[in-house]
Structure 1
Amino acid sequence: MSVSTLSPPVGPHAGLSAALRLGAVHLRTRTPDQLAAFYEQVVGLTRLAPQAGRIVLGAGDKAIIVLEDAPDAVAPPARAPGLFHTAIRVPDRASLAVRMNVLRAHGVPFGASDHLVSEALYFDDPDGNGIEIYRDRPRAEWFGPDGTLQMATLRLDLTNLAAESTDLGPAPAGTDVGHVHLKVNDLAAAHRFWVELAGFDVMARYPGALFVSAGKYHHHLGLNVWHSQGTPRVPPNAGGLDRFDIALPASDLATLRQRFAAAGSTLAEEAGAVLLEDSAGNRARLSVLGVD
């Protein structure tokens, strides 16, 4: 796929700061133990402190995936809104090569792309949840002379990547959730919610997709209607994405509350955190950095 012409950041709100961080992605599943084994053996995560009704997996002390025990969960329709993929970011190219080695060792089919801003591997977990594992290129390489983000989908040279490492180890400390890519059912509605109200900046536009971020990161959220345009929300007992977590400065959270209030929207609150739900049913929990 050739390089696309992408828009520079836009948005009069100029909202969220570069301090924003994504936290864990919560998935509802009927088989948490079996799914946890996949995330341990293939993705390279480790189990963190046990919690009732859930399994928390991460790297170092950072939670990345939380598996919520949902005995009544049903598979969501393939074309429904929800999770497109969780993008797990590793700290360097050698760590990406290790994950490729593990995928091959376990016989897991995967795709691979060079996005110019990053290099990425793509595959699914046993429940059908999409996973991306990627490493960023240096930020100085992301933008063209006019300040436009240069992002594309090109072939990744796997032979060259394999030369970085022959190891089969776990995900290292420093691994985290770099972005979350969501399926939505109305791109204009998604723009109103995540950009105009939540405060993210548009970094790139593709046919049927928006990529938005804080602090000029290439994207913290992907939003697409490639297979989900006009489809209904999933039922309450659907498996897959339950929510994803965002941590941000207290001032950003206060401003976000003000924007929603000015738009006449009432936000759900939970122990000082804000719960957001877009029109497609995708949910996020926003809390102050450093506060659980």
Structure 2
Amino acid sequence: MLNVDYKISHISLMADDEQRMRSFYRDMLGLVEKQQSSSQFSYAFTHQDQPFLTLSFSGQKTAQQRQGLYHFALLFPNKASLASLIERLILAEYPLGSGDHDVSEAFYLNDPNGNGIELYHDRQQTLWQWDQGLVKMGTKAVDVLALLQAKEAGWSGFPVGIMIGHLHFVGDNVRKGDTFFIDQLQMSLTAKIAGSAHFYSHNAYHHHHAYNTWFGSDLTQRRPDENGLVNWTVTIDEKLFKILNQSLHDQNLSTKPNQIWLADPFGSRLVINKDYSPSD
């Protein structure tokens, strides 16, 4: 596995139902909202952070499932901060699912447009179990009462250290995921669920990305005017950027020297930025 800096820094979604969507992200989750134009709003975790999410309210609903974003996942720095938000959502009676995945404890919800969101914290990496390059990730019930007991304070906004932990996509063939993430982005395969889902990462993380076929093999891509993921941005170090810039030269749609733009297999665009800051 390559030892590199890799950060998922931003996603942009086409949306409708402006009133409910803005209320969910601003009021229910407590994100910092900033209006970018008459139909576009950005959201940051705190006033000190750069926006990680942009909503453009010019989308159209579709009655059909599409290829694209399955969920975006927010990684909390500890169990206590996650517990504070989960308690808030439970008290608000917001619909939640959950799963203990061995490497993490996760909760699942949808925004008013149906975009999936995962809220999770990682267990210590020393507790992760690896076998022949694959990490054990199961699904069992979360002990919600035990998690809530870890809460140290009521929810007052996102904590320092919160970040996009991973993006999970849905498509029509896992081989497309392997080609994109392993062959093109130089990631490693870290887990499998039968033949229906593969997981990928850098640096032996359990996964930065996943690709599943759980909606069926006849899934079509979203049209440009439909709700869903428009683009997503990652920031990488100079070492990885040099490798990708050379290997993806013929597919790069960007004219900027420090960016790579790729058409992904999900009907959206990946923007890869080179970060000049030194690795930690």
Fold match by TM threshold 0.5: yes
Residue 57 to residue 259, structure 1, CA distance change in 2 (3 Å)? same
User: Which structure 1 residue ranges, 5 or more long, are not aligned?
Assistant: 1-13
Q: In the TM superposition, what is the alpha-carbon distance from 1:147 to its structure 2 partner? A: 5.8
Aligned pairs for 1:1-292 (under 5 A) are: 14=1, 16-32=2-18, 34-47=20-33, 50-52=35-37, 53-60=39-46, 61-70=49-58, 73-144=59-130, 148-165=134-151, 167-207=154-194, 208-261=196-249, 265-269=250-254, 271=256, 272-289=258-275
Q: Return the alpha-carbon distance in structure 2 between the equivalents of residues 226 and 112 of structure 1.
A: 18
Say if 1:62 and 1:176, in contact at 8 Å, map to a contact too. Answer: no
Alignment deviations for residues 139-168 of structure 1 (CA, whole Å, 9 cap, x no partner): 111134766412111110111111122613
Counterpart of 1:100 in 2: which secondary structure?
helix
Contact 1:21–1:248 (CA<8 Å) still a contact in 2?
yes
Letter in 1 for 2:177: A
Kindly indicate whether the alpha-carbon contact (under 8 Å) linking 2:134 and 2:189 is maintained by their aligned counterparts in 1: no
In 2, Cα distance between equivalents of 1:33 and 1:78: 23
Q: Secondary structure at the match of 1:160?
A: helix
Q: For 1:198 and 1:77, how far apart are their aligned partners in 2?
A: 32
Code of the residue aligned with 1:238 in structure 2: it is: E
**How big is each residue's C-alpha offset from its partner over 1:7-59, in whole Å with a ceiling of 9 and x where there is no partner?**
xxxxxxx5x543111112211112445412211222232225x4335322122
Q: Distance in 2 between matches of 1:78 and 1:94?
A: 38
Number of residue pairs matched by the alignment: 271
One-letter amino acid of the structure 2 residue matched with residue 167 of structure 1: G
TM-score, L = length of structure 2: 0.89
Provide the alpha-carbon RMSD of the alignment: 2.0
Give the structure-1-normalised TM-score.
0.86
Distance, in Å, in 2 between the alignment partners of 1:149 and 1:31 is: 39
Secondary structure at the counterpart of residue 176 of structure 2: helix
**Cα contact 2:4–2:237 (8 A) shared by 1:** no
Structure 1 CA distance for aligned equivalents of residues 99 and 255 of structure 2 = 39
In structure 2, stretches of 5+ residues that fail to align are: none
Q: Which amino acid aligns with 2:104?
A: S
